[in-house]
Chain A
Amino acid sequence: MTSTLNDSATSEHPITGGGDTVFDVRDVTLRFGGVTSLNNVSLQMYRGEILAVIGPNGAGKTSLFNSLTGVYTPQEGSIEVRARAGDSPTSVIGLKTHVVNRLGVARTFQNIRLFPALTALENVKVGIETRQKAGPISAMLGLPRQRREERESTEAAYQLLHRVGLERRANDIAGSLAYGEQRRLEIARALGTSPGVILLDEPAAGTNPVEKRELATLIQSINVDDGVSVLLIEHDMKLVMSIAHRIIVLNFGQKIAEGTPEQIQRNPEVVAAYLGTPADEVADLDLSQPELHRIDTGVSLDELVGQSSEAEHGATEHDGGTPR
Chain B
Amino acid sequence: MTRPSDLLGRLLACLGGALVVALMWGPQEGNFGDFWFAINQSIFRPRVLVFLALGVVVFLAMTFWPKVIPYLTRPGVWPLAAGTLTVIASQTLMHWADQLGDAKFGTVASAVADTNGISPVASAFFGGLCWAQLVVIILLVGTAVIGGLRNFGWAAAALSVVAAVIAYLAHAAVADKARYLGPDHSLGVYVCIIGYLVLLVAGLVTAMSHQQVANTRLAVNRALGWRPGLPLVVIGAVLGIIAMASSTWFSPANLNSTLADTRSRFRGTGLAPIAVQYLAWLGWALLAVSVVLSGVASYRRIRPLGWAGAAVGWLGVLLTVLTLYRISDLGADKGQDAATGPWQNLGAGGWMACAALFLIGSGGYIAAIAPRYAERTAETDSDAVASGRSASSAFLTAPGAARSGIMIAIAVALFYPPTANGFWQSVLVSEIGIYVLLAVGLNVVVGWAGLLDLGFIAFYAIGSYTTAYLVGSLPVKPPSWLQMSPLLAIPFAVLICLLAGLALGAPTLRLRGDYLAIVTLGFGEIIRIVAVNADQVTNGSQGPSTQVPHPVIDLGPVSITWGLNQLQYWYLLLVFVLVVLLAFRRLEDSRIGRSWAAIREDEVAAQATGINTFRVKLLAFAIGASTSGVAGVFFASQVGFFTPDNFVLNNSILVVAYVVFGGMGSLPGAIAGAALLTWMPEFLKDQVPAADRQMWIGAVVLAMMIFRPGGLLPARRRAVELAGLQPRSTRLEPVAVPAGEGM
Give me the interface of A with B, judged by CB distance under 8 Å.
Answer: 32-33, 35, 37, 57-58, 61-63, 65-66, 69, 71-72, 96-98, 101-102, 106-107, 109-111, 113-119, 122, 125-127, 129-132, 134-136, 139-142, 146, 149-150, 153, 171-173, 175-176, 189-190, 192-193, 201
- CB-based contact A63/B738 at 8 Å: yes
Least CB separation from A176: chain B residue: B388
User: Chain B residues with Cβ under 8 A from A190's Cβ?
Assistant: 609
- CB-based contact A113/B597 at 8 Å: no
| Complex CA distance for A63 and B387, rounded to whole angstroms | 38
User: Chain A residues with Cβ under 8 A from B593's Cβ?
Assistant: 139
- CB-based contact A171/B604 at 8 Å: no
- CB-based contact B590/A146 at 8 Å: yes
Least CB separation from A131: chain B residue: B610
User: Could you say which of B165-173, B205-213, B639-647, B713-721 contacts chain A?
Assistant: B713-721
| Complex CA distance for A130 and B613, rounded to whole angstroms | 11
- CB-based contact A173/B741 at 8 Å: no
User: Chain A residues with Cβ under 8 A from B606's Cβ?
Assistant: 115, 126
Least CB separation from A132: chain B residue: B591
Q: List 22 A-B contacts (CB under 8 A).
A: A63-B738, A66-B743, A71-B608, A98-B612, A107-B608, A110-B742, A117-B597, A117-B601, A117-B721, A118-B594, A118-B598, A122-B597, A126-B598, A126-B609, A136-B590, A136-B619, A136-B623, A150-B590, A150-B591, A176-B391, A190-B609, A193-B610
Q: A98-B613, A129-B595 are in contact. Are A114 and B602 (CB under 8 A)?
A: yes
Contact of A32 among B597, B605, B725, B737 (CB under 8 A): B737
Quote the shortest CB–CB distance from B416 to chain A (angstroms).
Answer: 29
Quote the shortest CB–CB distance from A303 to chain B (angstroms).
Answer: 23
- CB-based contact B725/A130 at 8 Å: no
User: Could you say which of B64-72, B366-374, B474-482, B581-589 contacts chain A?
Assistant: B581-589
| Complex CA distance for A109 and B591, rounded to whole angstroms | 23
Residue B726 is within 8 A (CB to CB) of chain A in the complex: yes
Residue B611 is within 8 A (CB to CB) of chain A in the complex: yes
User: Chain A residues with Cβ under 8 A from B717's Cβ?
Assistant: 117-118
6 other A-B residue contacts (CB within 8 Å) besides A61-B741, A175-B720: A71-B604, A97-B608, A98-B607, A113-B605, A117-B721, A122-B597
Question: Scoring B residues 573 to 584 as 1 if CB is less than 8 Å from chain A, else 0, what string do you get?
Answer: 000000000011
| Complex CA distance for A126 and B594, rounded to whole angstroms | 6
Residue B730 is within 8 A (CB to CB) of chain A in the complex: yes
| Complex CA distance for A98 and B619, rounded to whole angstroms | 17
| Complex CA distance for A271 and B743, rounded to whole angstroms | 27
- CB-based contact B598/A173 at 8 Å: no
User: Chain A residues with Cβ under 8 A from B594's Cβ?
Assistant: 118, 122, 125-126, 129
| Complex CA distance for A176 and B718, rounded to whole angstroms | 14
Contact of A115 among B605, B716, B736 (CB under 8 A): B605
User: Chain B residues with Cβ under 8 A from A61's Cβ?
Assistant: 741
User: Chain B residues with Cβ under 8 A from A176's Cβ?
Assistant: 388, 391, 725
Residue B389 is within 8 A (CB to CB) of chain A in the complex: yes
| Complex CA distance for A146 and B592, rounded to whole angstroms | 11
- CB-based contact A127/B610 at 8 Å: yes
| Complex CA distance for A118 and B390, rounded to whole angstroms | 12
User: Chain B residues with Cβ under 8 A from A175's Cβ?
Assistant: 388, 720, 725-726
Interface of A is mostly: mixed
| Complex CA distance for A58 and B742, rounded to whole angstroms | 11
Quote the shortest CB–CB distance from A26 to chain B (angstroms).
Answer: 21
Quote the shortest CB–CB distance from A278 to chain B (angstroms).
Answer: 26
| Complex CA distance for A114 and B605, rounded to whole angstroms | 7
Quote the shortest CB–CB distance from B303 to chain A (angstroms).
Answer: 24
Residue count of chain B within 8 Å CB distance of chain A: 45
Q: A110-B741, A172-B387 are in contact. Are A118 and B597 (CB under 8 A)?
A: yes
User: Chain A residues with Cβ under 8 A from B716's Cβ?
Assistant: 117
Quote the shortest CB–CB distance from A197 to chain B (angstroms).
Answer: 13
- CB-based contact A193/B718 at 8 Å: no
- CB-based contact B743/A110 at 8 Å: yes
User: Chain A residues with Cβ under 8 A from B605's Cβ?
Assistant: 109, 113-115
Interface centre among A106, A150, A173 (most CB of B within 10 A): A173
- CB-based contact A101/B610 at 8 Å: yes
Interface residues of B in 352-390 (CB under 8 A from A): 387-389
| Complex CA distance for A139 and B586, rounded to whole angstroms | 6
- CB-based contact A172/B602 at 8 Å: no
Q: A115-B597, A171-B387, A175-B726 are in contact. Are A139 and B611 (CB under 8 A)?
A: no
- CB-based contact A96/B389 at 8 Å: no
Quote the shortest CB–CB distance from B598 to chain A (angstroms).
Answer: 5
Contact of A116 among B612, B725, B743 (CB under 8 A): B725
User: Chain A residues with Cβ under 8 A from B597's Cβ?
Assistant: 115, 117-118, 122
User: Chain A residues with Cβ under 8 A from B611's Cβ?
Assistant: 98, 126, 130
Quote the shortest CB–CB distance from A257 to chain B (angstroms).
Answer: 20
| Complex CA distance for A64 and B415, rounded to whole angstroms | 65
- CB-based contact B387/A62 at 8 Å: no
- CB-based contact B743/A172 at 8 Å: no
User: Chain A residues with Cβ under 8 A from B619's Cβ?
Assistant: 136
Quote the shortest CB–CB distance from A176 to chain B (angstroms).
Answer: 3
User: Chain A residues with Cβ under 8 A from B728's Cβ?
Assistant: 111
- CB-based contact A118/B601 at 8 Å: yes
Contact of B587 among A114, A117, A125, A136 (CB under 8 A): A136
| Complex CA distance for A106 and B605, rounded to whole angstroms | 11
Query: Which 8 A-B residue pairings sit nearest by Cβ, starting from the closest?
Result: A176-B388, A130-B610, A139-B590, A129-B591, A175-B725, A140-B583, A62-B741, A113-B605
User: Chain B residues with Cβ under 8 A from A37's Cβ?
Assistant: 738
